[in-house]
Structures are given as C-alpha cells and as structure tokens.
Amino acid sequence: MSLSSSLLFIYPYNIIGKSIAVDYYFNYIMGSRKKYHINFLPSGKNIEVSKNHNLRQSILDCGLEIESSCGGVGTCGRCVVQVKKGRVDTKETRFLSPNEQKKGFVLSCLSRVIDDIEVYIPEQKKVRAIIDKGKLAEGSKVYAGVSSQEQEKPEVEPWVKKFTVEVKKPSLSYGTSDLFRFKKAVREKLGIEEVTVPIDVLKKLPTELRKNDWEATAVIESNKNVIIDIYSQKRPNRLYGLALDIGTTTLVMYLVDLEDGKILGSESEYNPQIRFGEDIINRIVYANREGGLKKLKEVVTDSVNNLIWRLLLVSKVEPDDIVSVMVSGNSTMMHLFYEVCPKYIREEPYVTVANRFSDCKAQDIGLKHIRNAYTYSMQGVASYLGGDITSGILATGMNHEQDLALFIDLGTNGELVVGNCEWMMGCSCSAGPAFEGGGVKCGIRAIDGAIEKVYIDQDTFRCQVSTIGGSRARGICGSGLIDIIGEMYLKGVIDRKGRFHRDIGNRYLKEEDGNWRYTLIEASDSATGSEIYISEVDIDNLMRAKAAVYAGIKTLLEEVDLSVYDLEKVYIAGGLGKNLNIGNAIVIGMLPDINIDRYFFMGNTSITGAYISLLSGKKYRQSIALAEAITYMELSVNMKFMDRYVAGLFLPYTDLKDFPTVEELLFEMDDKRKK
C-alpha cells in the first residue's frame, strides 16, 4: 500500500483532517461521485472514472488493450504504464526498479485513480487489437505443403448437405400430409428411414413445397438426420460452413464452401478473455468467481459473432446458407465457450466435464446471424489434451500412416502425441508462458518487430537480429528466445546451466541489483526506445519450458519402449512453429537430436482439423474415434517425468549422449574459439 492510502487508514481524522476523512467516507463507503479525467498516450483516448477506480480497469473500460497474464493481481508484472501527469495511488512491486518508479512507471493493476492524470501506455506492452492476418493465414494455411493426404485435396462430404427432392402432389385419392409425402420422397432419395423435421422447418414446408410445383431443396444434418432447412428449387445457392479455432490467445475462423472445400475468407482476432487472465489457469480462476463464467462466455461469444459478421460482410454469403460450425479448442476454451464450469480441470484428479459437447443449434449457444447452423465440437482426450490436439492429429494425417510420428503443439502447454495408425499416446507438459513471450522481461508475441533470429559475433559478442516483418525490434518472441539461447550457448555467452560467462570480456553484459543481463538491442536502436535484453531469469524460464517439453517426449516414448531415434516424423504445431529454428531448438535440448528432415512445420493445426472435420462427416467421426483411442498419460504425478525434467535443466541435457550432434557441434565451436 502506498503512503497516501496507508495514511488514510491509520489517521482518518487526526492528521489529515475532517474534510479528507469525509471525502474518504463518501468515496469508499457511499461510492464516489467525483470523476477524474484520464488521458491515455499515445492514443489520445480519454475517459472519466470515479475516484479510486482501478487504473488497469480504466484502460480496459476505455477500449484499450493492456497485457496482463495474471488477470490483474500484480503477479505477472506486464501491465506497466507511465504516469506522465498527475498522481495515482499505487502499490510497490518488485517488477519495477526504484529508478523506474521515480520516472512514474507503475503496474496499472496495482494503481488507483485519485487525480486527473495522463498515462502513457508503452508501445511494446500494447496488445495489438488486430492480429497480422497475413502471417496467421500463412501459418495456418491448409495446403501447407506438408506430405499429408489430408491436406492435398480435402475430402468433401460434409455432415450437413443439401439435396433436391420431388414430393408427390396430393390429390383427393392421395390426401396424405405434406410431411408424410416429404418424408417418403427423402426416403426414396437418400434411403434414410426417418428424418426429423423440427417445427420451424415444418412451418416453411407447405409454402416452399408449393412454390415450385413440389420440387424443393432440403438441407439435412446427417448425424441425427434432421432437416434444418427447406426452400423452393428456384433459389440458387450453395451451402457454407464455419471452422472455428478458439485459442487461448487467438480466435480464428474460416468461411468454407461446403461443396468444393474452398476457403472463402478467414478472420481472426485476439481472444478477448485475455483481459481476464492470459493463460488457462487464470481464466479458470476467473470463471469460478461470481458471474465469471458467464462473463467469459459472453466476451468470447461476442468476438465469435464479430468474426461471423465480418466474414458475412466480406463474402456476401447469405446467413441462412451457413449450415454448420465446427469448433476446435483446448478443453478449457471449449468449456468456457459452451459455458460449462471448467473448475475441475485444475483440481486433482483434473477431469473435464466433457471432452466433446453435444451437437446443437448455433443459436442455442449464443451465435448470431446463422439461425440454421448446427454446431459441432472436436473431441478432446483429457483436461490438458483437448479437441485442438485431435484437430492437429487429423491435420497431420498421422492417424493414417504406419510411420511412427510425434505431434508437438507448442504453446503455454506443450501437448505431445506419439503413435501411428495403430496406436497413440499423449500427454501435456506445462511449459509456462515463455514460448509465447511471457515470463520474459522483453518477451512479446510473434508480431511485427519481434526478434525471431539472432546472430552473435564470436569476437565482439554484438548481436545482429532479424525481426518478423523486418521492422525495428520491439522485443523477443518465443521462437526468437529459443534461437537466442541456442546461439548464446554455441557462442559461449552462457554455460550449460544457462549462466552468463562473466569473464569473457562481453561488453554487452550488465549487472543491476545482482541481476545480469545481456543487451541485444540498445535503447536508441529499438522501436520502443527501450533496451532489449535477456536476463538470467529469462533464460531460467525458457530452460524450464524446454526441459518440460523434452522430458515429456522422452517419458512418452520410453513408456512404450521406444527412443527418439525411432521417430520418423515430428510435426510441430502452434504459434511457435512457423518461425522456429529447429537447429537451435535441438541445440538447447528442447527437441530430439534427430535428422532435421524429419521435422515438419504445421502452423495452426487446430483450425485445419476443424476445417477437415467441417468438410467431411466421415473425417469428423474418425477424429472422435481417434481421440477416444488416445491413451493419456498424466505427467504431473509421474516421477520419471520429474527426473527427466530436472535432467533437462542443462544445455542441452544432463547426459550429452542424448544429443550427439550437438556435442559434436560444441566441440567444433570450442575448437574455433581456441583458434
């Protein structure tokens, strides 16, 4: 608690005097009527708030974005802002140096408004409102050049399809009901014994059948044989579907032509739940609050409706012609999207309420615009191996191949599945937020200006970086971190434990309050005006993440008496994938030391799997069966995993025998240095 607010509590009358005490009373007890004005820089947006309103909340209220993986409780240190004019009531935090505090930097979540203020939201901390679509589309492209049968030519036989039907005309001698004659025609056409015609379709039936002399087009949902629409033959139309990936960070939606599989449009935006907690654990915590689940459901539904609306606008597709939605996402995202309590996902024994949610009308779960559409969800395996992973398997096609393959989805959790067309086994290893730029002081997501590749000069230790989009550096993304650590290790900047060699004359190495850091970009050269560096704490975070992934891979393989050398293919999915330097990922001991040719980048496989399932009822059924057949290993209680995790807290690994190529490379580098 800051000085000013402590004083208020300790000396309400005596020192501060009655007027302040009365003010205090009104503001705290009765609710303040006085409003303060906040001007946000550089956007110039402004807002009026009551006294003591939370500053982070004010930023959100104003429609601005602010990163905060802890959901606003002061533990992640990411919501830093600078108060340029006026003062706030703030709490002290270890995330800010005394020097920074002097300059007006505060954690917005720990600050309350007590004055008219001007607040600067630093550029590199702002979550960009619209993600770079080009990048995303490329990263999650369906025909991604991966040698998988799924992606070369999509199978088109969707769950929801239309057919023409000629209904016998009634007469005095054949006076059966419209429904009876319609069902008979369907039986003769499709061989389906009994279809269900819901009341809303029945209401249209008599008119539509008579419009074009008893010839009509019907739309059937063939899982439960429900007729979801009918219209006179005259109306020319195609049917469309939506594939939806609800990522913890990003929502992606495809608008798909259900007759030729063509993707007519794709839209994406950040998952707005981010403001309530950046990772799934914080969202579950928020969901448990009074009204929390409802709120999380609301905001994500609003965004999804927004995506639908944008796709409709751009494509000019008739809303009624969108007949199905396939939803993919991790278990927590799916629970939140269907407004089902996710609480038990994070309580031992970590179970979901459901791994797949019942088919339902899109409007029943709050989706707008598309009243005809049915919604399906991808089948998950367990709490931490969700429908997004099933989508991934489907996208790789490894469920059809004899080759032993490993599927890795690298995000906050590293999800792993190993197997082939005959068996599969999966697990999830909590990697922490490092891969997504979290827990790292200069970490950012893989957006324009993120450092993704680094070259260190062997002699001067000066860094040359390349950034996403080629612009000035703003920070380091997950794949950049992996690259940097690999490069630092190879160039002798850090040792096997991830500590800086302090005796090699590296002038980019600095110490402040006992913390060592290595400057990659000087403040004057960065896009943000701040220095971009990596500290030992940052390295530690990444070491833990990479150790978890490798320990997971090893544990999974050894459980079935296999080794990494048996792997014929390794599929890498997730945001990290596209920019990842596989070589350096091996150097740091995150990925197995096998031939690089065996690695395949897959991009966003969650949306790809949803797309495949949307297009083919058969594939969707297969995906359900395959998810049900995956053996899940719970690592959180696995002692072998823990042992391997600890062994992984070295570069590349305790036992160098696991990484022969790296060992060789290190010898070479060492030789070079000695020369």
Q: Are 599 and 572 in contact (CB under 8 A)?
A: yes
Residues in contact with its own copies, shown as a per-residue x/- string from 565 to 594 under the rule CB under 8 A:
------------------------------
- Which residues are 428's β-sheet partners? 415
Instruction: Return the amino acid letter for 598.
Output: R
**Which two tokens mark 356?**
């797949």
Considering only 197, 304, 395, 444, the residue that binds its own copies (CB under 8 A) is 197
Return the number of the residue (26 or 180) whose C-beta is nearest its own copies.
180
In angstroms, give the least distance from the CB of 368 to its own copies: 17
Give the whole-angstrom CA distance, residue 71 versus residue 49: 20
Considering only 42, 145, 198, 529, the residue that binds its own copies (CB under 8 A) is 198
Backbone angles phi, psi at 148, to 5 degrees: -130, 135
In angstroms, give the least distance from the CB of 201 to its own copies: 9
In angstroms, give the least distance from the CB of 358 to its own copies: 6
Give the whole-angstrom CA distance, residue 237 versus residue 504: 71
Handedness of CA 437, 442, 448, 453 (dihedral sign): negative
Q: How many residues bind its own copies (CB under 8 A)?
A: 44
Give the whole-angstrom CA distance, residue 553 versus residue 572: 13
**Site of tokens 């690695």:** 599
* Helices assigned H by DSSP within 116-198: 133-139, 149-152, 178-190
* Helices assigned H by DSSP within 343-399: 387-396
**Site of tokens 């191949």:** 401
Binders of its own copies among residues 590 to 619 (CB under 8 A) are: none
Considering only 358, 464, 515, 563, the residue that binds its own copies (CB under 8 A) is 358
**Which two tokens mark 590?**
């995150």
Residues in contact with its own copies, shown as a per-residue x/- string from 215 to 254 under the rule CB under 8 A:
----------------------------------------
**Site of tokens 């996710």:** 342
Give the whole-angstrom CA distance, residue 217 versus residue 416: 45
CB under 8 A: which stretch of 250-258, 333-341, 431-439, 569-577 binds its own copies? 333-341
**Which two tokens mark 596?**
């690089």
- Report how far Cα 267 is from the mean position of its chain's Cα atoms: 15
In angstroms, give the least distance from the CB of 331 to its own copies: 9
Residues in contact with its own copies, shown as a per-residue x/- string from 545 to 564 under the rule CB under 8 A:
--------------------
Binders of its own copies among residues 155 to 194 (CB under 8 A) are: 170-172, 174-180
Four-CA torsion 263, 269, 274, 280, nearest 10 degrees: 10
| 291 makes contact with its own copies (CB under 8 A) | no
* Helices assigned H by DSSP within 428-564: 478-490, 536-559
In angstroms, give the least distance from the CB of 395 to its own copies: 23
Binders of its own copies among residues 362 to 381 (CB under 8 A) are: 364-365
| 17 makes contact with its own copies (CB under 8 A) | no
Q: Are 55 and 88 in contact (CB under 8 A)?
A: yes
Name every residue whose Cβ is closer than 8 Å to that of residue 354 and which is 6 or more positions away in sequence.
Answer: 340
In angstroms, give the least distance from the CB of 202 to its own copies: 6
In angstroms, give the least distance from the CB of 614 to its own copies: 20
Backbone angles phi, psi at 73, to 5 degrees: -115, 15
Considering only 43, 147, 149, 207, the residue that binds its own copies (CB under 8 A) is 207
Residue 229, CB-side half-sphere exposure with 13 Å CA sphere:
25
In angstroms, give the least distance from the CB of 141 to its own copies: 32
**Site of tokens 């429900």:** 226
| 634 makes contact with its own copies (CB under 8 A) | yes
Considering only 17, 63, 206, 529, the residue that binds its own copies (CB under 8 A) is 206
Return the number of the residue (343 or 501) whose C-beta is nearest its own copies.
343
Return the number of the residue (400 or 621) whose C-beta is nearest its own copies.
621
Backbone angles phi, psi at 632, to 5 degrees: -100, 135
In angstroms, give the least distance from the CB of 173 to its own copies: 8
Instruction: Return the amino acid letter for 615.
Output: L
- Report how far Cα 191 is from the mean position of its chain's Cα atoms: 43
In angstroms, give the least distance from the CB of 176 to its own copies: 7
In angstroms, give the least distance from the CB of 644 to its own copies: 19
CB under 8 A: which stretch of 242-250, 358-366, 409-417, 420-428 binds its own copies? 358-366
Give the whole-angstrom CA distance, residue 248 versus residue 409: 13
Q: How many CB atoms lie within 10 A of CB 629?
A: 13
| 202 makes contact with its own copies (CB under 8 A) | yes
Binders of its own copies among residues 447 to 486 (CB under 8 A) are: none
Return the number of the residue (352 or 555) whose C-beta is nearest its own copies.
352
Name every residue whose Cβ is closer than 8 Å to that of residue 492 and which is 6 or more positions away in sequence.
Answer: 501, 504, 669, 673
Return the number of the residue (175 or 191) whose C-beta is nearest its own copies.
175
CB under 8 A: which stretch of 139-147, 259-267, 336-344, 614-622 binds its own copies? 336-344
Give the whole-angstrom CA distance, residue 360 versus residue 376: 7
Residues in contact with its own copies, shown as a per-residue x/- string from 338 to 357 under the rule CB under 8 A:
xxxx-xx---xxxxxxxxxx
- The answer, yes or no, to whether the previous bond of 42 is cis (omega within 30 of 0) is yes
Give the whole-angstrom CA distance, residue 390 versus residue 573: 12
Residues in contact with its own copies, shown as a per-residue x/- string from 103 to 142 under the rule CB under 8 A:
----------------------------------------
Q: What's the angle, vertex CA 612, arms to CA 389 and CA 250, rounded to 5?
A: 55
In angstroms, give the least distance from the CB of 184 to its own copies: 12
Return the number of the residue (168 or 598) whose C-beta is nearest its own copies.
168
Return the number of the residue (12 or 170) whose C-beta is nearest its own copies.
170
The closest of 333, 423, 432, 419 to 383, measured between CA atoms, is 333
In angstroms, give the least distance from the CB of 281 to its own copies: 18
Return the number of the residue (122 or 170) whose C-beta is nearest its own copies.
170
| 304 makes contact with its own copies (CB under 8 A) | no
Return the number of the residue (310 or 343) whose C-beta is nearest its own copies.
343
- Which residues are 250's β-sheet partners? 270
- The answer, yes or no, to whether the previous bond of 349 is cis (omega within 30 of 0) is yes
In angstroms, give the least distance from the CB of 71 to its own copies: 22
Q: Are strands 322-329 and 263-270 parallel, antiparallel or unpaired?
A: unpaired
| 199 makes contact with its own copies (CB under 8 A) | yes
In angstroms, give the least distance from the CB of 330 to its own copies: 14
| 288 makes contact with its own copies (CB under 8 A) | no
Return the number of the residue (159 or 461) whose C-beta is nearest its own copies.
159
In angstroms, give the least distance from the CB of 459 to its own copies: 53
Give the whole-angstrom CA distance, residue 57 versus residue 35: 15
Question: Looking at the chain, how many residues does it have?
Answer: 675
In angstroms, give the least distance from the CB of 297 to its own copies: 10
Would you report the helix, strand and coil content of the chain in percent, each value rounded to 5? 40, 25, 35
Considering only 131, 165, 205, 610, the residue that binds its own copies (CB under 8 A) is 205
- What is the binding site for its own copies (CB under 8 A)? 170-172, 174-180, 196-199, 202-203, 205-207, 338-341, 343-344, 348-358, 360, 364-365, 382-383, 632, 634, 637
